[in-house]
Amino acid sequence: MKLVFLGTSAAQPTTRRGLSCTCLKVEGEILMFDAGEGMQVPYLRSKLGWNKKMRIFITHLHGDHCLGLLGLLQTMSMQRRTESVEIYGPPGTDEFVAANARMLGFSPSFPVIMETTEEGTVVDAPGYEVSACRAEHSVEAFSYRFSEKGGPGRFSTEKARGLGVPEGELWGTLQGGSAVSVGGRTVLPSDVLGEGKRGRTVGFSGDTRPTDKLAEFFQGCDYLVFDSTFADEMVKRARETGHSTAAEAAALAKNAGVKNLILTHFSARYSDTDDLLREAQKIHPSSYAASDLLEVEV
């Protein structure tokens, strides 16, 4: 599983940073969080592929987070994509796509399934779940949390044989999590299965103030990608504009028991992010600054 950062600038692009777009590459599938203008070029550079199974999650309807959707749908059509795309976003996302498709005269070559994001579970797929929580921004905005589903531990054929369970149907029953009876004795799944696999979790804040609600939502995330628009000295501006400082992101990550914090969405005024990273690391040492095309193994 891999995080790929395609755009890490806030509001406007710089010559080094594009607009918001982060992909989570999961087993033959791409989960995209926001699609800012210009995300196609870094998408190409990252070789993520045009016909992969794809779900797109829009945090809010500001151009720097959703304008790239339109060109992306057109390019995927020109690439003769056949696989459907699911797009989740706040109310109005469907109108934004439909109105522009009409005004710009395009119709995708593949099914586009639009779903309005509400709080709670947004996607329940075989291998993972994505849930949403209301963020605090200048417009209606959502944060998302990806949770890989945990798996059972490894089945020990030696232990099963040792306990007299014959190979065949009964092994399947134990692997499925149910007890079996062998010669009058009960064998439990825990007798033959190793420790269960813990699912990995990744959070995406989108644009937001840090809130207690989000700290709870992101509780225990392995990775948290969080709004870090401003340095500490601009906390007033962060409050006014519905964003967070790097230090505020770090404080939330610490309170939420987040393992690794990845700062992103840097104001174009910062030519480098050293100060912001330093401010975050003072509070939460496991903090990193995203850059365009950065890839992180999760």
Residue 35 interacting with a copy of itself (CB under 8 A): no
Residue 45 interacting with a copy of itself (CB under 8 A): yes
Residue 37 interacting with a copy of itself (CB under 8 A): yes
Residue 264 interacting with a copy of itself (CB under 8 A): no
Scanning the chain, the segments in alpha helix (DSSP H) are 40-45, 63-66, 68-78, 93-103, 157-162, 169-175, 189-192, 212-217, 235-241, 246-255, 274-283
Least distance from a copy of itself to the Cβ atom of residue 135, Å: 15
Residue 11 interacting with a copy of itself (CB under 8 A): yes
39 neighbors 68 (Cβ within 8 angstroms): yes
Rounded to an integer, what distance in angstroms lies between the CA atom of residue 138 and that of residue 277? 25
List beta partners, residue 224. 203, 261
Residue 31 interacting with a copy of itself (CB under 8 A): no
Residue 70 interacting with a copy of itself (CB under 8 A): yes
Among 32, 34, 35, 62, binds a copy of itself (CB under 8 A): 62
With 0-12 / 13-18 / 19 or more C-beta atoms within 10 angstroms meaning exposed / middle / buried, residue 155 is middle
Residue 186 interacting with a copy of itself (CB under 8 A): no
232 noted as active-site residue: no
19 DSSP 8-state letter? B
Residues 197-216 contacting a copy of itself, CB under 8 A: none
Is 60 annotated as a binding-site member?
yes
Among 1, 86, 100, 239, binds a copy of itself (CB under 8 A): 100
Of 236 and 269, CB closest to a copy of itself: 269
Range in contact with a copy of itself (rule: CB under 8 A) among 7-15, 110-118, 208-216, 280-288: 7-15
Give one DSSP letter per residue of 71-91, joined into a string: HHHHHHHHTT--S-EEEEEST
183 neighbors 170 (Cβ within 8 angstroms): no
Residues 143-162 contacting a copy of itself, CB under 8 A: none
The CA-to-CA distance between both ends of the chain, in Å, stands at: 5
Which residues fall in the annotated binding site for Zn(2+)? 60, 62, 64-65, 137, 207, 265
Active site residues: 64
